[in-house]
Amino acid sequence: MVTLTEDRRSAASPTGSYRRFLSRHISWVPVFAAVAILVVMIAGAMWYFPNFQLNRILSSILLDNAYLLVLAVGMTFVILTGGIDLSVGAVMAFTGILCAKMLGDGVPVAVAIPAMVLIGAAIGLLIGVLVQFFDVQPFIASLVGMFLARGLAFVVSLESIKVENEGLLWLQSTRFSFAGWYITPTGIIALLTVAIAAFVLRYTRFGRTVYAVGGNEQSARLMGLPVVRAKLSVYVISGVCAGLAGIVLTAYSGAGYPLNGVGTELDTIAAVVIGGTLLTGGSGFVIGSMIGVFVYGLIRTIISFSGAEQSWTRITVGALLLLFVVVQRVIVSRSALSR
């Protein structure tokens, strides 16, 4: 048996099993860090605020941020390939207001909802085509999508449109309660999106291709993987999620509003990064993004609990984001050194 590792002798390195764990699960380390932060925050809040009931708070976080969770799932796919999608906030607003308008004009819910998803997919495809076939940087291509969607939202209506449709409102108003926890159909949609995405990424060839493209696109291509299809698909997926988020948000707020989602794409990216997905691509999990969304939601909740200004949310999220990016950098450089 040929032994190939020369550095088994380093006295300073950790024990064999720790090293093995690290060499197998290095991508999970940032996610564990996110979970740790979440746990610490929860523990701190429970200790500090007398009426902080965990089950009620977590349920309400999911309720308030279901749209963000759906967006984060889509964004994870895109970031895993090393790209970015700045259009999601605007697409969400566009599909939201279009949905409200269509419902107001009497279109049945069963038609409106799939239509919104398809529109999101179409804008996503546009962005994907720009990135893949016109070699446009994802940043710019998705910016194009953002302006397009925002403009289209204003074309639909300059003011908010209230939704009276029972079918849509049911998604938000119904609650399934259990032992102090509750969940709405929108929450279920969001969690299902996470579950399906996690499954696809781990158990399908498409999922492996997404990670491969993020790791080294040229290698993936040379290996004969369907790189083009994967790169187009992730933007379509992000668009689908944006369409879905539009529906969720409209159900949540009871109205469509063309100015929804301004800056939401940045919240989404923040949640994904906090959740342990590397911006350079190739490493990350949708479960992590879900943790990131909960961290974001928890920050908002804690701030409102403490009575401070809502703007502190953004500042805190910013600080956390900085922390995570630094942590990611350390992890990346350490794993490169270990070669």
Which residues contact another protein (rule: CB under 8 A)? 1-7, 10, 20, 22-24, 26-27, 202-205, 207-208, 211-212, 214-216, 218-225, 282-283, 335-336, 338-339
Q: State the pairing for strand pair 176-178/161-162.
A: unpaired
Nearer to another protein by Cβ, of 10 and 51: the residue is: 10
- CA 128/CA 77 separation, integer angstroms: 12
Q: How many of the other CB atoms lie within 10 Å of CB of 17?
A: 8
Nearer to another protein by Cβ, of 211 and 252: the residue is: 211
Q: Are 172 and 251 in contact (CB under 8 A)?
A: yes
CB of 281 to another protein, least distance (A): 8
Nearer to another protein by Cβ, of 216 and 316: the residue is: 216
Nearer to another protein by Cβ, of 174 and 338: the residue is: 338
CB of 222 to another protein, least distance (A): 5
Dump the DSSP string for 197-232: HHHHHHHSHHHHHHHHHHH-HHHHHHTT--HHHHHH
CB of 289 to another protein, least distance (A): 17
Nearer to another protein by Cβ, of 139 and 199: the residue is: 199
- CA 269/CA 319 separation, integer angstroms: 14
- The values of phi and psi at residue 4, to 5°, are -110, -15
Residue 100 CA: distances (Å) to CA of 96, 129, 170, 247, 261: 6, 29, 14, 9, 15
CB of 211 to another protein, least distance (A): 6
CB of 173 to another protein, least distance (A): 36
